[in-house]
Amino acid sequence: MTAPNGWTTALVTGASSGIGEALARQLAADGINLVLVARRQDRLKALARELDVDVEVLVVDLSDASAIQQVVSRLQDSESPIDLLVNNAGSGTVGDFLETDAEAEANMVGVNVSAVHTLCRAAGTAMTSRGRGWILNVSSIAGFAPNPRSATYGATKAFVTSLSESLHLELGPQGVVVTCVCPGLTETEFHRQAGYQPEGVPARTWQTADQVARAALNGVAAGKAVVVPGGQNRAAVLAARVAPQSLVRRAAARLATLNGK
């Protein structure tokens, strides 16, 4: 990635592992100072010690509407502005909709939807007042089609993608780039924590967190609206958008059987 002129500080949520950690490392390699946000203080501090840039650590549970105000305040700090906001934090659940844990589902909506919405508003307000800024939202190809047995997760990612594309159009004329990256299967802790066990999915389908992070940062630096890393993922998204929706639903139902039902 070649960072745009003026990228000095980036704020990355969900930076303690996976794609968020990869994004933080790649930004630091380009000399960009960081504000790292996640729940796990030990991991954030360990990562901060490894990076050769200035790093602030904010230990915040983004499912907590009151705690998120710490991040809002940091985004709105005019004396130490954030040039790039990366909304990466997210969670997922797997299981029949009526049988999944209600609290886990509510927390997922809080992190995947409400937190992204709140931080986009905070960053967008600060950035448009300066006439410049960048926002990178991490979504998923799951947002382009039905997701039986991950219904709420897919719906949250559809929200993130739709919001991002709209803000790309709204905020662009005011100097703010909004980009959404939509990865497919990625080698992180996420799938294990969500309970997703994709038996029978070919190894070539998976990407590394570094590959996704690189594509995401290249995309936001280039001012793109949507980035889908990986040829197979782009083909899947294209099919979901142009194929008859009855076929898309049948394919989604078939894919759901790969995870135990």
What are 48-93's pLDDT values in tens digits?
Answer: 999 999 999 999 999 999 999 999 999 999 999 999 999 999 988 8
**Can you give the pLDDT at residue 58?**
97
Question: What percent of the chain stands above pLDDT 90?
Answer: 71
**Can you give the pLDDT at residue 143?**
85
At 6, list the tokens.
């003026």
Q: What angle do CA 233, 190, 153 make, to 5 degrees?
A: 70
User: What is the separation of C-alpha 136 from the centre of its chain, rounded to a whole number of angstroms?
Assistant: 7
**Can you give the pLDDT at residue 108?**
95
**Can you give the pLDDT at residue 203?**
57
Give the model confidence (pLDDT) of 209-253 as tens digits: 999 999 999 999 999 999 998 878 777 767 667 766 766 566 666
**Can you give the pLDDT at residue 81?**
97
Annotate 8-74 with DSSP letters as a single string. Answer: -EEEEESTTSHHHHHHHHHHHHTT-EEEEEES-HHHHHHHHHH-SS-EEEEE--TT-TTTTHHHHHH
- From residue 137, alpha-carbon distances to 85, 187, 195 in Å are 8, 19, 23
**pTM recorded for the entire structure:** 0.88
Give the model confidence (pLDDT) of 81-123 as tens digits: 999 999 999 988 889 999 999 999 999 999 999 999 999 999 9
Q: What is the mean pLDDT of the chain?
A: 88
The structural domains of the chain, ordered by start, are 9-259 (3.40.50.720)
**Can you give the pLDDT at residue 239?**
67
Candidates 7, 134, 144, 153; catalytic one? 153
Asked whether residue 180 carries a pLDDT value surpassing 70, the answer given is yes
Among this protein's residues, is 153 annotated catalytic?
yes
- In this prediction, residue 188 has a pLDDT band, given cuts at 50, 70 and 90, of low
Task: Please name the residue that has the structure tokens 């980036």.
Answer: 10
Question: What percent of the chain stands above pLDDT 70?
Answer: 81
